[in-house]
């Protein structure tokens, strides 16, 4: 059964892949026909995309290095009763801290947003922590 299906597929591909000489000549003739392009008036009205630099003048090139913005350091220390302890400050949902708005508080993390910037903060698993939190089962 498999051999029959494979041979039928190969034969059908060969039958459809065959191009005759008149078909090829017709395609070549269609390629050689004059095609309509952009009118000259339209080209004359377009703005030139290149800038001309005069070689006789001394011009001073000034490079400006963009100042690197320091990313604000936000640290999540604790989450208790729907409040997050971020940078020594208790914050609730929709309150702001360092330009960011607290949008979500989960079990182990929080999400802050400032426009298109989104920060996800997670509590670190510190070995020096003297508070042990265990979930009830």
**57-94 pLDDT, tens per residue?**
666 777 777 776 666 688 898 898 889 999 889 999 99
Q: Note whether residue 107 is domain-resident.
A: yes
**99-110 pLDDT, tens per residue?**
899 999 998 899
Task: Inform me whether the pLDDT recorded for 127 exceeds 60.
Answer: no
Q: Note whether residue 116 is domain-resident.
A: yes
Q: Are 122 and 108 in contact (CB under 8 A)?
A: yes
DSSP 45-57: HSPP-SPP--TTS
Query: What total of structural domains would you count in the chain?
Result: 1
Task: Inform me whether the pLDDT recorded for 126 exceeds 70.
Answer: no
User: CB-based contacts of 91: which residues, under 8 Å, 6+ apart?
Assistant: 83, 84, 85, 97, 102
| pLDDT at res. 95 | 94
Task: Report the DSSP pairing between strands 100-105 and 96-97.
Answer: antiparallel
Q: Note whether residue 52 is domain-resident.
A: no
Q: Note whether residue 111 is domain-resident.
A: yes
Q: Note whether residue 103 is domain-resident.
A: yes
Range of the domain at 115: 76-122
Cα–Cα distances in angstroms (integers) from residue 130 to residues 125, 126, 133, in the given order: 11, 9, 10
Q: Note whether residue 37 is domain-resident.
A: no
């Amino acid at each position: 059964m498999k051999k029959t299906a494979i041979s039928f597929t190969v034969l059908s591909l060969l039958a459809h892949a065959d191009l005759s000489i008149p078909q090829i000549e017709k395609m070549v003739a269609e390629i050689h026909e004059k095609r309509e392009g952009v009118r000259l008036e339209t080209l004359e009205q377009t703005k030139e995309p290149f800038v001309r630099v005069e070689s006789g003048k001394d011009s001073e090139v000034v490079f400006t290095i963009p100042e690197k913005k320091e990313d604000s350091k936000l640290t999540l220390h604790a989450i208790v009763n729907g409040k997050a302890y971020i940078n020594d400050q208790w914050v609730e949902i929709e309150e702001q801290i360092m330009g960011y708005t607290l949008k979500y508080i989960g079990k182990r993390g929080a999400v802050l947003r400032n426009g298109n910037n989104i920060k996800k903060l997670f509590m670190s698993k510190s070995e020096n922590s003297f508070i042990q939190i265990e979930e009830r089962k």
